Amino acid sequence: MRLASFNVNSIRRRAPHVARFLARHTPDVLVLQELKCRTEEFPAVELAASGYRHHVVGQPGGRNGVAILSRIPFDVVCENLEGEAEDDHARYVEIRAAGMHIAGIYLPNGNSGGEAGMAYKWRWMQRLHERAQRHLDAFTPFAILGDFNVCPTDADLTPGLLPPGDALRHPTTRGHFRALCHLGMTDSAIALGERPWTYWDYGSAFETNRGLRIDHVMLSPELAERLQTFHVDTEARAEEQPSDHAPVWVELSPS
DNA sequence: ATGCCGCGCTATGCGCGA
């Protein structure tokens, strides 16, 4: 079982990259973030030949947007986290497939909108925590994949790349992330002794390998037991007109 | 300490992303 995540920074610009990634690595499930399109604008035709079915949670205005592509049967569980009235950001999608629940997330950046932006990020992390708690309490196998916009420790960013007060490395942000770990969700890369960059800014950052580790795959205990490998598809980041994120994925042994 | 880049907009600069 192969579970993957890719922040595409506009799916209309990146549909060819996604198609190539699917062909190269044939994940069973791929979650996408930052579609930057409405649901009806998703380039389904360009991805149709790949043999994947999709579910899109788009948003007007060219912001956010998440989707799931799957080559195994699935049901959509929900398209938002509970706990905040009138949250119309398209940042969450959860499916049930192969006996597990799989969430694709685009966690708020938190650096825009001042205090309110930061507070929204932390409330969102609290709501994610509550969702995970619910699944863990029920012993439901649960995976969370996506752009967390969190550098969990100082070792997860190139020194000097982000100022100390940045929302991606703020102590409160890290506290929320650590709470998710303590709840019982395993950071896949760390569990395997790896700490790879998953994001490089446009410009020279990729050539000089100045990056961040912000795309994560978190697994409940049942799934962490099955964790075999963690990968970053740097090939996708090296392509023409790339996203600033690279796809990541994990391999799980059969249940 | 930051947006030099990239994206979408109702645009020909701005807000946002990390």
The percent helix, strand, coil of chain A (3-state, each to 5) is 30, 25, 45
If you average pLDDT over residues A175-195, what whole number do you get?
A: 98
Judge if the beta carbon of A165 is closer than 7 A to nucleic acid strand B.
no
Query: Nearest residue to B15, CA vs C1'?
Result: A112
Bridge partners of A231, per DSSP, are A249
SS3 of A5-18: EEECCCHHHHHHHH
Give the nucleotide at minimum CA-to-C1' distance from A9: B7
Q: Which two tokens stand for residue A107?
A: 């966690």
pLDDT in the model for residue A255:
84
Q: What is the pLDDT of residues A17-28, one digit of tens each?
A: 999 999 999 999
Query: Nearest residue to B4, CA vs C1'?
Result: A203
Judge if the beta carbon of A7 is closer than 7 A to nucleic acid strand B.
yes
Query: Nearest residue to B6, CA vs C1'?
Result: A202
Q: What is the pLDDT of residues A47-98, one digit of tens each?
A: 777 789 999 999 999 999 999 999 999 999 999 999 998 899 999 999 999 9
Q: What is the pLDDT of residues A212-254, one digit of tens each?
A: 999 999 999 999 999 999 999 999 999 999 999 999 999 999 9
Do residues A50 and A19 make contact, with C-beta atoms less than 8 angstroms apart?
yes
If you average pLDDT over residues A140-158, what whole number do you get?
A: 97
Give the nucleotide at minimum CA-to-C1' distance from A35: B7
Q: What is the pLDDT of residues A4-15, one digit of tens each?
A: 999 999 999 999
pLDDT in the model for residue A113:
87
pLDDT in the model for residue A50:
76
Give distance CA A253 / C1' B17 (Å).
36
Chain B bases closer than 7 angstroms to a protein Cβ: 1-10, 15-18
If you average pLDDT over residues A167-189, what whole number do you get?
A: 97
Q: Give A12's Cβ-side CA count (13 Å radius).
A: 11
Do residues A253 and A223 make contact, with C-beta atoms less than 8 angstroms apart?
no
Judge if the beta carbon of A39 is closer than 7 A to nucleic acid strand B.
no
How many Å apart are CA A243 and CA A236, to the nearest integer? 8
Mean pLDDT (chain A, rounded)? 96
* CATH code of domain A2-252: 3.60.10.10
Residue A229, number of CB atoms within 10 A of its CB: 12
Give the nucleotide at minimum CA-to-C1' distance from A10: B7
How many Å apart are CA A215 and CA A237, to the nearest integer? 14
Judge if the beta carbon of A116 is closer than 7 A to nucleic acid strand B.
no
Do residues A123 and A108 make contact, with C-beta atoms less than 8 angstroms apart?
no
Judge if the beta carbon of A156 is closer than 7 A to nucleic acid strand B.
no
